[in-house]
A and B are shown apart, each in its own frame.
Chain A
Amino acid sequence: MTCTHPLSQHIKADGSVTSLAEYRANYGYQGLAKALTMSPTQVVDWVKNANLRGRGGAGFSAGLKWSFVPPIEKMPGQRYVICNADEMEPGTFKDRWLMEHDPHQLIEGLAIAAYAVQADTAFIFLRADYDLCAERLQQAMDDALAAGLLGEQLNDAGYSLTMLLHTSAGRYICGEETALINSLEGKRATPRFKPPFPQVSGLFGRPTVVNNTETLCNLPHILYHGIDWFAGLGIGDDNGTKIYGVSGRVKNPGCWELPMGTKVADIIALAGGMQDGVQLRGFLPGGGSTDFLTHEHLDLAMDYGTIQQAGSRMGTGTLIVLDDQTCVVGMVLNLIQFFAQESCGWCTPCRNGLPFIRQILVDIEAGRGQQDDLDHLLELCGYIGIGNTFCALAPGAAEPLQSALKYFRDDFVAHIEQGCCPHSQATGVAAEAGIEALEQGANAL
């Protein structure tokens, strides 16, 4: 039988973890075994030809990313592979789902990536608060090591791999790969200037590859089943499957593994549609840093190219649904508050621009908005846009705001003209309390 749901095939409904024995019973670690019989260059080419695109949001070819690592003959010595499991994008929970239920899949994928670039050390950079993931990953790594699947002399050529788990102390910017590298060096997680790219000079100045959790989880299957199989899984331009998720006021929020390129409407239908009494107004297709899309985009395929053409990004593929009872100004304010708080403070447009924007939105939400505020907001979106900042955090923060101003401008105008939030009856005093808390900067400890 053809395998159509490779990433989730071991995931059990009761939420329990897949043991090493269970994992191995269904071709577990055979993808790695196959890779170890190939030359590292062959593995890189294999994955390049499979056109596995990065599932963390950027969609860059994983094999191509690896191919920028200098050959070991030209640059001998230590090199690293890091799993980016710093899943902190608002509305995103797919990597947690994969790691909590099937940790060996990630470990095998990471080992394959490490072998491909001849790294002797691999790190899993896990976000703070994923305590259950940490426990299960560490246990799985211990089990794999005891079974001789990691460690010394993994093949005849004598390839050895040490795998380590690093749990973060919590900061969204750690998901940016060069900031992640700084964090792993024990520093403040500020992004680094590129070039040099991490593939040449990364962790401790050594060649380093950083791949997203879901990307790595694809590798065992691509190695085992082959490139043609992987290409056959997608129904659009992109190959493979994708973990899509839905949150917000839908009947059955969750995440599902579906063919890459599944229609937005079909994904929302899997979530049971909207809750009774509320209507869909729009959605963020792939986390908090993607542009809103609306009704007219429901029939679009969720793949990198299609969503980009519609003016947004597929991002992490986890949709956040906006309903007609939720205040769009409040929702954007919530997102901007997140990005302002999580800015690392390194560059001025992000450090200062996001709090400016937050204050304007607080004023609009509190009924103190001015007519020219909307133009001012758009101007600020430009100042923090691509090319003006050191990394992608602030441009990402601008995306939900600029698209909300495009699709839901009337909501902003209504706040300004009525001198209050039209939704305040629904959210009531709680909204007032939220604004007060924001104004007092109650997030500090």
Chain B
Amino acid sequence: MTSIIATDTVATRANWRLEIEPLNDHEEAEIAAQIEHYPQPQAATIEALKIVQQQQGWVSDGKLKAIAARLQMSPDEVESVATFYNKIYRQPVGKTVISMCDSVSCWIMGYQGLAQALTQELQIALGETTADGAITLLPTPCLGACDQAPVAMVGEQRAHRLTPATLIHLARQAQESTP
């Protein structure tokens, strides 16, 4: 592991120097089940990242290193995959992620007005998390529900035909249900 730390020159990666954060039993078992599906363990990289994220909310440097060790890869290889995909979070996110579709049909149907209303209401910009850690707001590519535009994912629920009022209501609901 020392060689990786030594070659890491990115200043913002201070946390990279942290030790491995071991996988918990659940993560270990789920990842092992996924590895079974493929002829080589590396093929389970994306599944492993998603399993950890499901448990932790995001993928920390320590967990990423643990995944690398489990899949017999270097942490840099796992990082190259983790940072490629939109839905792997390498920073902590709020308890509920609101992904607002910003693609063409939703844009025509009023995405910009929705985004403006919600960012104002929550006092955060797109890509940020509320101070109480309840909500992260992200723009997202086409959610494949263009007939119901504008749409957003509030956690794992798809919300349809949004207006500023209904979206703000859903966001406040999510915020209130956060302990």
Chain A interface residues (CB < 8 Å from chain B): 78, 87-93, 95-96, 127-132, 164, 166-172, 183-189, 204, 245-249, 253-255, 284, 288, 318, 320, 322-323, 326, 330-331, 334-335, 338, 341-342, 344, 427, 429-431, 433-434, 437, 442-445
Say yes or no for B115: interface residue by CB 8 A criterion: yes
Q: Determine whether the beta carbon of B141 is less than 8 Å from that of A342.
A: yes
Q: Determine whether the beta carbon of B116 is less than 8 Å from that of A170.
A: no
Say yes or no for B170: interface residue by CB 8 A criterion: no
What is the total of A-B residue contacts with beta carbons within 8 Å? Answer: 170
Chain B interface residues (CB < 8 Å from chain A): 37-40, 42-47, 49-50, 71, 80-81, 84-89, 91, 93, 99, 102-105, 107-109, 112-113, 115-116, 125-127, 136, 138-149, 153, 156, 158
Whose C-beta in chain B lies nearest to the C-beta of A428? B113
Q: How far is the CA of A248 from the CA of B146 in the complex (A)?
A: 8
Q: Determine whether the beta carbon of B144 is less than 8 Å from that of A430.
A: no
* Chain B residues within an 8 Å CB radius of A90: 103-105, 141-142, 146
Q: Determine whether the beta carbon of A430 is less than 8 Å from that of B104.
A: no
6 A-B pairs, CB-CB below 8 angstroms? A90-B103, A131-B158, A167-B50, A168-B46, A171-B84, A442-B127
Q: Determine whether the beta carbon of B146 is less than 8 Å from that of A129.
A: no
| Residue from B125, B136, B146, B158 whose CB has the most chain A CB atoms within 10 Å | B146
Q: Determine whether the beta carbon of B126 is less than 8 Å from that of A437.
A: yes
CB of B67 to closest CB in A, whole Å: 11
* Chain B residues within an 8 Å CB radius of A93: 144-147
Which of B107, B116, B148, B158 lies in contact with A132, CB distance below 8 A? B158
Whose C-beta in chain B lies nearest to the C-beta of A332? B104
Asked if A128 meets B81 with Cβ closer than 8 Å, knowing A93-B147, A334-B107, A342-B141, the reply is no
CB of B42 to closest CB in A, whole Å: 5
Q: How far is the CA of A248 from the CA of B149 in the complex (A)?
A: 8
Q: How far is the CA of A96 from the CA of B107 in the complex (A)?
A: 20
Whose C-beta in chain A lies nearest to the C-beta of B46? A169
Whose C-beta in chain B lies nearest to the C-beta of A254? B147
6 tightest Cβ-Cβ pairs between the two chains A and B: A169-B85, A186-B45, A247-B146, A170-B86, A430-B112, A170-B87
| Residue from A93, A131, A245, A429 whose CB has the most chain B CB atoms within 10 Å | A93
Q: How far is the CA of A331 from the CA of B102 in the complex (A)?
A: 11
